[in-house]
Homo-oligomer: A and B are copies of this chain.
């Protein structure tokens, strides 16, 4: 038995998310189908670092699976890539030790969110940005980013649809908003993320940037532990699972 880890990119546009579900096409299903072919019909279970929602992209999702094809000459990346649809790319795939686990061994995760902040939409970025044409106060947004850094109870920034049990305390090591030409590119590096947490943070930041909320409201929103106090959930197409760190 050999454990294989993969780094995978996917364009979330035409997926109903990562995880297998009764209706809709999923990333897990596409890769498990490929694994089944490689293993002559045997079911192989795929373990991701975490799920992503419908429409959310991944630049560097990490997965692992166990195989009985213990052939040291096998090029797993090529074998898998040759069976992928064109919206999934296997970046790397290689044997890891048996105690590696794509989910439990995670140390840090990085998400990015792209906001196209100009009047006119861009046809070529409509699938990878959230078009938000309002004038924005960038300094207020950057202050807001700094305020959510650190260890907080993020209940107010977690979807009510979560089925998670346990506490809602997470640590954000770094939250940035960089202006890159006509985009705001948000970067979140954290110990872990709650359901819809980045998208609710973005929705709240944009309300602060457009003046509908004040940056000083953020402390109260965090303290309230109430989802209804935070801003709207920003749409999925601006969100990327960028990187998963195990060190």
Q: Which residues of B contact A10 (CB under 8 A)?
A: 123
Comparing A43-51, A87-95, A170-178, A219-227, the segment that makes contact with chain B is A87-95
Q: Which residues of B contact A57 (CB under 8 A)?
A: 123-124
A89 and B122 contact, CB distance less than 8 A: yes
A126 and B9 contact, CB distance less than 8 A: no
Shortest beta-carbon distance from A183 to chain B in Å:
14
* CB nearest to A90 among chain B residues: B120
Interface flags, A57-101, vs B, CB<8A=1, else 0: 100000000000000000000000100001111010000000000
Q: How many of these chains are in the complex?
A: 2
Q: Which residues of B contact A6 (CB under 8 A)?
A: none
> Does A11 reach chain B (CB closer than 8 Å)?
yes
Residues facing B in A103-130 (CB within 8 A) are 120-124, 126, 128
* CB nearest to A128 among chain B residues: B124
Task: Pick from B9, B120, B124: contact of A123, CB below 8 A.
Answer: B9
A87 and B123 contact, CB distance less than 8 A: yes
* CB nearest to A9 among chain B residues: B123
B124 and A11 contact, CB distance less than 8 A: yes
Shortest beta-carbon distance from A21 to chain B in Å:
21
Cα of A227 to Cα of B81 in the assembled complex, Å: 35
- Can you list 6 residue pairs at the A/B interface with Cβ under 8 Å? A11-B123, A11-B126, A57-B123, A57-B124, A81-B120, A86-B121
What are the 5 tightest A-B residue pairs by CB atom distance, in nearest-first order?
Answer: A11-B123, A9-B123, A89-B123, A89-B121, A87-B123
